A and B are shown apart, each in its own frame.
Chain A
């Protein structure tokens, strides 16, 4: 068996959220740390879409930023295509790898330079990595990329503000493809878009994946979108992955009590009128998370052990109640 394309091992990120030193001295108070990501591990196979889903503050975007190298991890390791993204020794190899990794952000307004024409925005990675020589050849390539994402080559002469939100997201995708990327990290790519436009962008992303064999790390808070896009899904809660499983399985037979609660909370357009478990409580303050399993204050299955020990991620779920069979397992459909 070959190694997975992306390997993330025990990734941690701690933010120092203490008051300034002088305030601490004068007013007292301890240093405070926020564990945004606490020991996250997962693999992504080539050509697969792995999704991280969770509510705000669960650390999913922090993971995405560490995977592409926008944020250095506190500890842990990220390996992409056999090259370590965290090891200092691999700097030269990493430089070559960078071109093949791209990111698409939530807000296409903020991620495109408003003073540049779109053709210059898309040509930038081509010039920066010296992929094609000659202005003419570059212009042809940009036109080709614009056509690929469903825009017209003439649209390259326009500025970002002349496009609608969905079209801007298409430009961002064209830019990601400009460097012949293999692995694209998408952080809430459609959250700012209307549903009919969102459908266009999601369809486009799937078409491009089929065409170029792209690998996606897909970050979203919307479970329905994740179900539509992902082959495998990791559910995050307060900086940890609480459940990881194949797309279908997760929705047919969720294991972790948090996943069950989350699935149950999604407003149901099918209008089946099913009885739902009422949602209890809110995400606790991540600066001072509950000891043991961080979900225990909201969990109907919590016992003494859950309040004390952090459950390891085994059998696809990080939950003592699942491991001890204290919770009835839904039959896999």
Chain B
């Protein structure tokens, strides 16, 4: 078994505020292998982006990594001094954010930005770096790159800008790319092009990709494995086909049923009552229990650990083979609360 490119072990991220310590990430563990795309899904506030920021060491005070380990190709990176971490960022981990305009400097031609990044991370000469920049632009599908390289960011459309950002992330040939909602700001027809590009890059270069998004469709099309996050924890992680088509965790099941699809008719969408708890009021035990149709007493006190189930891992007592009552609760559902209103 080869070593994973990224290995996150029991990660905890806290934000210290006047009203107490908020646990944004609470015990998250996962691996990403070479050439693999791990999709991280969840609703707003689930902790997807904070996980991404923690990996690249960009958690600003009052936030802090309160525990756990992050390993990149066998070396630990969560405890590096800021100066060392800056070398890892960009060189070994590339980043793509939702809004390409904030990742590009509006006052510099994109060629200058690419050449600067290439020269920071490699020892190519200026002319070699420019040739490399043109190659990269061609690789991400920008037409006439030798001409476009001298354009300013505002001269590119949204989709083309996101391609430039991807080229920028590829400059130093990183082992891992963290893409945080890379297609959310784009129209569907452009989104499809960007997804295809990311998939191709992962395949051809063997880059591991952590794809953070709230869009299950994007995950289903792109990812090899999926982690479903809820209230700062991973509810379920497993191969994309299993999680999307046969989700185990009641939250993952509700989430999949809530998405209207093109393929089937549904009179009513599955609705999960209530909404995600605030970080200041995460329920004890399983954080999902107040919204869960299967929850019983154990769920309100005992926090479920990730349990292996097939090729997946699921943090839910329903799948605990040592609990004799679990199976009965599996079949039993409480009448779903009609309209979801959290008090």
Is the CB of A270 closer than 8 A to any CB of chain B? yes
**A57 (CB) vs chain B CBs: closest residue:** B187
Tell which of B157, B255, B342 touches A195, judged by Cβ atoms closer than 8 Å. B255
Q: When A195-B259, A196-B43 are in contact, do A265 and B271 touch as well, CB less than 8 Å?
A: no
Q: Is the CB of A268 within 8 A of B271?
A: no
- Provide the B168-212 mask, 1 if CB < 8 A to any CB of A, else 0: 000000000000000000011111110110000000000000000
Q: When A151-B341, A194-B214, A199-B271 are in contact, do A227 and B260 touch as well, CB less than 8 Å?
A: yes
Q: Is the CB of A269 within 8 A of B216?
A: yes
Contacting B at CB under 8 A, from A216-268, are 221, 223-225, 227-228, 251, 261-268
Q: Which of B69-77, B262-270, B292-300, B303-311 touches A?
A: B262-270
Q: When A150-B341, A279-B189 are in contact, do A270 and B263 touch as well, CB less than 8 Å?
A: yes
The 7 closest A-B pairs by CB, nearest first: A150-B339, A267-B217, A199-B258, A194-B43, A228-B260, A199-B269, A265-B192
Q: Is the CB of A223 within 8 A of B262?
A: yes
Is the CB of B244 closer than 8 A to any CB of chain A? yes
26 example contacts (A-B, Cβ-Cβ < 8 A) are as follows A55-B189, A149-B339, A150-B341, A151-B341, A164-B342, A195-B216, A195-B255, A195-B258, A196-B271, A198-B258, A202-B269, A224-B261, A224-B262, A261-B189, A262-B188, A265-B189, A266-B217, A267-B191, A267-B215, A267-B222, A268-B220, A270-B262, A271-B240, A276-B192, A279-B190, A282-B159
**A223 (CB) vs chain B CBs: closest residue:** B262
A212 to B176, CA, bound (A): 54
Interface size, chain B (Cβ < 8 Å): 50
A202 to B266, CA, bound (A): 12
**B160 (CB) vs chain A CBs: closest residue:** A282
Contacting A at CB under 8 A, from B226-279, are 240-241, 244-245, 254-264, 266, 268-272, 275-276
Q: Is the CB of B189 within 8 A of A197?
A: no
- Provide the B43-82 mask, 1 if CB < 8 A to any CB of A, else 0: 1100000000000000000000000000000000000000
Is the CB of B327 closer than 8 A to any CB of chain A? no
A203 to B339, CA, bound (A): 10
Q: When A199-B270, A268-B221 are in contact, do A251 and B262 touch as well, CB less than 8 Å?
A: yes
Contacting A at CB under 8 A, from B322-342, are 338-342
Nearest Cβ distance between residue A214 and chain B, in whole angstroms? 17
Is the CB of A56 closer than 8 A to any CB of chain B? yes
Q: Is the CB of A265 within 8 A of B245?
A: no
Interface residues, chain B, CB within 8 Å of chain A?
Answer: 43-44, 157, 159-160, 187-193, 195-196, 214-218, 220-222, 240-241, 244-245, 254-264, 266, 268-272, 275-276, 338-342
Residues of B close to A270: CB separation below 8 A: 220, 261-264
Residues of B close to A225: CB separation below 8 A: 260
A45 to B294, CA, bound (A): 43
Residues of A close to B217: CB separation below 8 A: 224, 266-269
**A152 (CB) vs chain B CBs: closest residue:** B341
Q: Is the CB of A197 within 8 A of B275?
A: yes
A148 to B245, CA, bound (A): 34
Q: Is the CB of A196 within 8 A of B258?
A: yes
**B157 (CB) vs chain A CBs: closest residue:** A282
Residues of B close to A261: CB separation below 8 A: 189
Is the CB of A206 closer than 8 A to any CB of chain B? yes
Residues of B close to A282: CB separation below 8 A: 157, 159-160, 189-190
Nearest Cβ distance between residue B334 and chain A, in whole angstroms? 17
Is the CB of A204 closer than 8 A to any CB of chain B? yes
Q: When A227-B262, A269-B261 are in contact, do A204 and B192 touch as well, CB less than 8 Å?
A: no
A282 to B187, CA, bound (A): 9
